[in-house]
Structure 1
Amino acid sequence: MDSKELDTNKTDRIVSALKGLLGAIPYGGSLAGEIFGNIIPKQRLDRFAAYIKELSSRIATLEENDLRWIEKLKHSSSNLLIYELSIKYSLETNSQILHNSFASVVFKAVEKNEKDTVINEKILRTISELTEEEIIWLIWFSEPSVLFYETEFQTRFKKILSPHSRSSGNSEDDRIHNALQDQYILNLHGKGLLYRKSVNVKNKTVSLSSGDKPPELKDFSITPYGDMIVDALYNEDFFGRIVI
């Protein structure tokens, strides 16, 4: 049996264990009904399967400790709650980025056991309110800025992160790209994940408000809570390296 087949068998075993944990979740019967008995059960089932695949791939990186991770999840009511919430949020989206982000939060919550359940609940809820593009931009703001250097993460998500012209004669595609980018940044700011810095105008420091002008990337920085979100959802294998 080659290594690829072994990896497949291991992932299948993890997937089966995660699905089996539905019965261990308090009120798991109703959760299972929500997944499999919805008006559009096929779509919900596909979303559930996609999320479980992302979580299984994270657990599989533990090599010989994957069963220990499953046991830690199974025997902790707090961990099971986080697992249940991640499933509920995953049913609301087809996004692989969001599924991977939910999986990272659950994986780290069980493996590291560093944050209280209420904090992990808050983190999951916040991520569920973000779009794919907002997640990518939030990660970008967490990067150390290096002139003339493009990280693996920036290369992987160049379509979202590349600047478009803002000149008066720019194309419709440019205008749409910029309008959406502005909204992503302002949404992150509104959720307390970015803060808007002050700038010096004619030797007078003023605070920028959203109504003064279109948002510029240099005017914003990530907040401590934004850093918490990135730390919880970031998976280098999925998003690519964000440092040199």
Structure 2
Amino acid sequence: MSTNDNLPTPIQANAVDYVTAGAKAILSAIPFAGSLLAEIAGSIIPRQRVDRIADFASKLEQRIEHLEKGSVTAALNDEEFTDLSEEALRQASRATTSERREYLATLLATSLSSDAISYAETKHLMRLLGELSDVEVIWLRFYAVPTTGRDQEFRELHKNVLHPKSAHLGSSEDEVDAEAIQKSYRDHLIRLGLVSAEIAKDRDGAPEFDRFSGNFKVKCHQASRLGLLLLKQIGLAPQGRR
């Protein structure tokens, strides 16, 4: 718990004021994106997270500096864009990794392109992203190219995460737990509609039934259209996939 949580209410309010002023000063020092976010940031930045917001603003600056300034500034008059920006700032203030802030900056910047999906749709994707851990984002990207022997560079880069955890008769409790956690990543992605299962079929084209699990046999898992869209909007779409 933060030390400030035990302070009297007036002192807490002053602490927030100091952090807010510091946040605005830092954001304003970033020429374009910083000034756009400074006013919004003033009311929602939690204490001790100003550095994350500054990093997010810097990443956003790099992604929108090529856009026409007037059109970007005009977006602030759109309540849906302001709402989307607030959500991005909230998530960025909680993001403990640079990669996560990169995803958020790309997602917000992409919403400003001429062929972008609506702000409301982008916010839906942002909320989905907010429900995923960084490890689950890696698994979603893996399921975008599930074929063995492909996407080797990505798999090698994240081999520690993607190495299959398989428990068997005689496995230790730690091995069983590791398999359960890894399976939970896939199950969570399925529940969110980001990954789908391709059902195995027999020679007649009928779905095959697994009498041990009581469910249909699954041939493979792959990223759904929604999953591919999220990857595209955060800049993680596999080359050649749209």
Q: Using structure 2 for the length normalisation, give the TM-score.
A: 0.71
Per the alignment, residue 132 of structure 1 pairs with 134
Residue type matched to 1:18 in 2? A
- CA–CA separation in structure 2 for the residues paired with 1:228 and 1:222: 9
- CA–CA separation in structure 1 for the residues paired with 2:200 and 2:132: 28
Per the alignment, residue 154 of structure 2 pairs with 153
Q: Which runs of 5+ in 1 are unaligned?
A: 1-11, 60-65
Residue type matched to 2:42 in 1? A
Residue type matched to 1:226 in 2? G
Per-residue Cα deviation, 1:196-216 (whole angstroms, up to 9, x for no partner): 2322479752477xx658x97
Per the alignment, residue 9 of structure 1 pairs with none
Q: Name the CA shift for 1:14/1:171 in 2 (closer, same or farther; >3 Å).
A: farther
Deviation at 1:52, TM superposition (A): 2.3
Per-residue Cα deviation, 1:35-85 (whole angstroms, up to 9, x for no partner): 1xx4xx11x2132123223323444xxxxxx25355432221254443332
Deviation at 1:178, TM superposition (A): 1.6
Q: Which runs of 5+ in 2 are unaligned?
A: 1-26
Per the alignment, residue 33 of structure 1 pairs with 43
**2:43 match: secondary structure:** helix
Q: Name which one, 1 or 2, has greater alpha-carbon Rg.
A: 2
Does 2:51 align with 1:52?
no
Question: Which of the pair has the greater relative contact order for Cα pairs under 8 Å at 6+ separation?
Answer: 1
Per-residue Cα deviation, 1:167-199 (whole angstroms, up to 9, x for no partner): 223345533332111000000111111122322
Residue type matched to 1:99 in 2? R
Per the alignment, residue 67 of structure 2 pairs with 68
Does 2:30 align with 1:15?
yes
Q: Name the CA shift for 1:15/1:224 in 2 (closer, same or farther; >3 Å).
A: same
State which drifts further: 184-193 or 136-145.
136-145
Q: Which runs of 4+ in 1 moved over 6 A?
A: none
Contact (CA 8 Å) 2:33, 2:58: kept in 1 or not?
no
- Superposition pairs for residues 218-237 of structure 1, below 5 Å? 218-235=219-236
Contact (CA 8 Å) 2:88, 2:108: kept in 1 or not?
yes
- Selected match of 1:82 from 81, 84, 87: 84
Contact (CA 8 Å) 2:145, 2:222: kept in 1 or not?
no
Q: Name the CA shift for 1:181/1:89 in 2 (closer, same or farther; >3 Å).
A: same
Per-residue Cα deviation, 1:23-42 (whole angstroms, up to 9, x for no partner): 56xxx3xx41321xx4xx11
Q: Which has the higher helix share?
A: 1
Per the alignment, residue 96 of structure 2 pairs with 94
- CA–CA separation in structure 1 for the residues paired with 2:60 and 2:158: 22
Q: Name the CA shift for 1:173/1:70 in 2 (closer, same or farther; >3 Å).
A: farther
Contact (CA 8 Å) 1:104, 1:235: kept in 2 or not?
no
Deviation at 1:137, TM superposition (A): 0.7
Deviation at 1:131, TM superposition (A): 0.7
Q: How much identity, in percent, do the aligned residues show?
A: 18
Residue type matched to 2:156 in 1? T
**1:166 match: secondary structure:** coil
